[in-house]
Every structure is written in C-alpha cells, then in structure tokens.
Amino acid sequence: MRRLRNVKIVATLGPASNDYATIRALFEAGADVFRLNMSHGTHEEQRARHTIIRQVEADTGLPICILADLQGPKLRVGVFANGSEELVTGADFRLDLDPAPGTLMRVNLPHPEIFAALEPGASLLVNDGKIRLEVTDCGADYANCKVTVGGTISNRKGVNVPDVVLPLAALSDKDRADLEFACEMGVDWLALSFVQRPEDVLEARELAKGRAAILSKIEKPAAVKAYDAILAVSDGIMVARGDLGVELPVQAVPPIQKRLVRGARAAAKPVIVATQMLESMIESPMPTRAEVSDVATAIYEGADAIMLSAESAAGSYPVEAVTTMNNVAISVEGDPVYRDIIEASRSAVRQTVADAIVSAAREIAETTNIKAVCCFTQTGTTVSLVARERPRVPIMALTPLMETARRLSLTWGTHCVITEPQERFKGAVIAAARAALSYGFAHEHEQILVVAGVPFNVQGTTNILRVAPCDERLIYRGDPE
C-alpha cells in the first residue's frame, strides 16, 4: 500500500475506534500513526488497542507508528455544593486550599504550587478560558480574584495559568505510571503535555531510556518563549493549538504555528499540527470549508503530520474524517503553488558532510529523471535529513530495524521498508533497486538515488550517494566494481 501524499495523518483511537475492523479501515483510509490518549481509558483498554494495531501491522506487512500522549499536570478546581455556580462579571471570587464544597463565593483549588507562584494581576482561565479571573490579592493558600469574564463554573473544571511559569513537576505520578506502561508495551513516540522548559523533556527522556522517541507538545506561552531550547532536546514537536489558543489570544496562534513548524523543519525534526482540524466531523459526515482550509494551511506550511482527535476517537464518522484528510492532502500536494511555498520556506543548512549529501541528493533528484531517494538508516537520522529537504520525489526509508521504521512513519514523505542488514554499499544499492521495483516507486531501467553512511551501522555517518539504475544486471548479478 503506497500513500499518494507526503504529509502523514495521525488518528486518535477511542470508543468510536476500538475494534479491528475500524482500526484496519482507518489505516487503509490513510492513517499512518495511531495516537493513544492516556488522559482517557484504562491501561487494559490501551493495551487492547495497541494489540489490534500490531495485528493490523502484521496483516498488512507495513510498519505502523504508535504515539502515546501523556496527560500532563492537569489543574482542576474542586467540587461545588450545588454542582455548579454562575459567576457574574465584576464579582469577587476566591480560590483556596479549603477542601469544603464550593459556593458562589469560593472553591477549592488543590494545587498549592499555583498559589506559591501567583502575583496580583495574574490571569486565571477556567473551563478552556470561558471564565476569566484576575488575581487581586494572594497568599500561600488563597487567591482573591475579580471575575473579568463570567459564566458557569462546575465541578472539576480545568484551570490555566498563562502568565506564570508554574513550579510543577513535569510529570505527575499518573504520567510516570503511564510512561512506564507505554514504554513496556512498545509504543514508538511519547508526547509530553504542558511542557514549559527543556528540563521537562530531559526528565521524560531519562525515564524512557531510549525505548520511545520524545515529542514535546507546545501549548503553553512559556513553551513558546523557550521553543528553541525545547526543540533542541526533543525528537519531535506537536503544535497543540487547543490549550495554546486558551492561554494566548486566538489571533496569536496562526503566526506561532508557522514559526513552530518552520523551526522544527529546519531542525529536521517531525512536527504535528493538531486540535480541531475537522471538529465538525465529530457529528457530521462532511467538514466545513473553513476546516478544510485549516488542514490545507498546515500542509502548505510543510508540517510532517496533521492530527485527528475526537473526530476519530469519539466521533460518528472516524473513517470519513481520515478519508477527508487524505483527499485534502492529495489535492494540496498536487497544486503547483504547494511546491513554490515548500521550496521558498526551505532552510539552507550546510554545516556538515551529511547536510551537503542530502542537499545534493535533492538537487540531483529535481534536475534529473530520478524516481525516488532511497535512504539506508539505522537510527533514522539520514531519512530525517533528506525529509528536511522536502524533495519532489518519494523518500524510501530502508532499515533492518522495525522500531526505526515505525518511528519514521511520522516523518514527511517517508515510505518505510524493512530490509536485510547490509555490510557493503554495493549490497545496499542492489537492495534499494529491488525495493523500488517491488513497491512501484520505479520501473525497470529507471533511476533511483541511494543515500547511506559508510561504514554501515554507525550513527551519523551519512557520507555517500549514488545514482543507480533499476535493471536486471544490477539486481540479479550484482553491481560490478
């Protein structure tokens, strides 16, 4: 099964996509990566989904990427005696550590670390920003506030603190348990929620011990400010526009999205654009025109992947949502303007031999009749560098390691193929030609580019490329030296 697009599709699994038939249908419709949202469901439910994905992988013979999304330190108010209260704009309201049920005047906020960090004038956003409070006075166990935007506040609604870097542990006890469970289960990527600083990423990396790649979700103003440092220690990025749009003015999100995507592209690290992409398809078989334009914008920006959340996890039309994304991607990438935009936004990186090799590979592919760039890789570094160039021809990622193939399934333009280990470049060229013919990337006598590092099986040695023909002499008798 060959995708006719470069951008990848991430589909979240949930109650609407729990069985083999649906997950198989989602994959065949275009899902490249399946997201397990650790905020919902038990470990047993997530393990069952993981097992089904791996069965689909075995049945189709194609590597499938699994991303486990950790909940992060979620801040919530306590409960109310009446279940909810209506806060009026201009009224006074108090948050405190008193566990007693809330009233119209106050409610418990069981997070002393918030009070320790607050200052007068700070904003507090409740229920995804529908209610806004401004701190007028605060202490170690309370915050007196003025209601600047009123509304209904009810039990355990979430609280956002956009103006303050909170002294919160990067991972809650639940996150630590979920991280260990996900790594033992064998997921390929871990997504970290509410990252504020690079130290948050380093803590997760230490716990993961190399068992999964680390993807940082940018959804806090503090993370936007520290983006370069966070990007440097992350393996990938997610532009999580939901909470980002709560804590920042909504008009600030589009330019931030563009900057985050461009930064990740320049660093050769995959970037996902997420949240509310086809929101109306939770209940409707057709998206709005504005949603289609939003998906298209992320593709034009060169994002590695676009993501469905509730649309595929809990919606009435999960397969239709993936099909819609797939069709939009094919249409956008077929637009001549798409190539103009992608190439205009390409970063010129020429710092190492590997940078020069992949840049030359892209230029050769675009100026001659090359059908595919075939990359031999152990860790995925070579493929990531080639993908950063956003070449006009497909990228074949050839690796003997299933875990590498799975992780690379998130990377723009890559088609992952499991191959036999290679010790010599001649064998790699023969294997690449066979794979290109077998998967339909090239026909006999057409040419491919082979990129690899010599000596083989050594990380960071991308240093050689060759134009190779796909013909019987090469494949069946070997390449005479």
Its pTM stands at 0.92
49 as an active site residue: the answer is no
Is the N-terminal amide bond of 455 cis, ω within 30° of 0? yes
The burial class, CB within 10 Å (0-12 / 13-18 / 19+), for 199 is: middle
* CA 421/CA 434 separation, integer angstroms: 14
Beta strands in 81-188 (DSSP E): 84-87, 92-96, 106-108, 123-126, 131-139, 142-149, 151-154, 159-160
Which domains are assigned to the chain? 8-73+171-334 (3.20.20.60), 84-160 (2.40.33.10), 353-477 (3.40.1380.20)
- Which amino acid is residue 76, in one-letter code? R
pLDDT given for residue 473 in this prediction? 65
pLDDT given for residue 477 in this prediction? 55
Provide the 8-state DSSP code for 76: B
313: Cβ contacts below 8 Å, ≥ 6 apart: 12, 13, 14, 15, 16, 17, 37, 40
CB 384 within 8 A of CB 404: no
pLDDT given for residue 98 in this prediction? 97
Catalytic residue among 35, 265, 362, 388: 35
pLDDT given for residue 480 in this prediction? 43
Residue from 4, 10, 5, 6 nearest 273 by CA: 10
217 as an active site residue: the answer is yes
Provide the 8-state DSSP code for 416: E
Kindly list the distances between the CA atom of residue 208 and the CA atoms of 64, 179, 229, 271, in Å, as whole numbers in the listed order: 20, 7, 20, 20
* CA 233/CA 235 separation, integer angstroms: 7
* CA 276/CA 244 separation, integer angstroms: 12
Q: Which two tokens stand for residue 382?
A: 């070579």
How many other CB atoms sit within 10 Å of the CB of residue 4? 11
Catalytic residue among 197, 205, 217, 241: 217
Kindly list the distances between the CA atom of residue 196 and the CA atoms of 164, 169, 175, in Å, as whole numbers in the listed order: 10, 10, 16
* CA 161/CA 126 separation, integer angstroms: 9
pLDDT given for residue 157 in this prediction? 93
Catalytic residue among 24, 74, 76, 174: 76
* CA 481/CA 479 separation, integer angstroms: 6
pLDDT given for residue 479 in this prediction? 47
How do the pLDDT tens digits run along the chain, 481 residues long? Answer: 789 999 999 999 999 999 999 999 999 999 999 999 999 999 999 999 999 999 999 999 999 999 999 999 888 999 999 999 999 999 999 999 999 999 999 999 999 989 999 999 999 999 989 999 999 999 999 999 999 999 999 999 999 998 888 888 779 999 999 999 999 999 999 999 999 999 999 999 999 999 999 999 999 999 999 999 999 999 999 999 988 988 899 999 999 999 999 999 999 999 999 999 999 999 999 999 999 999 999 999 999 999 999 999 999 999 999 999 999 999 999 999 999 999 998 877 667 888 999 999 999 998 999 999 999 999 999 999 999 999 999 999 999 999 999 999 999 999 999 999 888 888 889 999 999 999 999 999 899 999 988 777 677 678 889 999 987 665 555 544 4
